[in-house]
Amino acid sequence: MYTKGDIIDVVVTGIAPYGVFVKINDYTGLIHISEISDKFVRDISQFAMTGDQVKVIVIEADEDNKQLKLSYKKCDRSKKIKICDMKIGFRTLEEKLPEWIQEKIDA
């Protein structure tokens, strides 16, 4: 029996464009795409693959049908996206352009 707020480990059983299907014991669940991240999720398959174990929090439990609505983003805040320190702009292009032209001439 699961209740709202429980943190559980589930196994991914399928992936659809709108979410990830999971299973735990005799319960099935769905992590809707909106519950994966606060940011835009372009491709759910980059989040998980079939067979992966994922830690989630229960949003809603339907005991009669043994179905769970789950959230990944509300549970796991420890994973941070690392952003590279990169200089972007015209100056970088200006510096690389002569090198690219020389590569074309040499080819």
- For the whole model, what pTM was predicted? 0.67
pLDDT confidence tier of residue 27, bands split at 50, 70 and 90: very high
Neighbours of 65 (CB within 10 A): 9
pLDDT of residue 106: 86
CATH number of 7-80: 2.40.50.140
- Count helices and strands (H / E) in the chain: 1, 5
| Tens of pLDDT, residues 80-98 | 444 445 555 666 777 888 8
Sketch the domain layout of the chain as residue ranges.
7-80
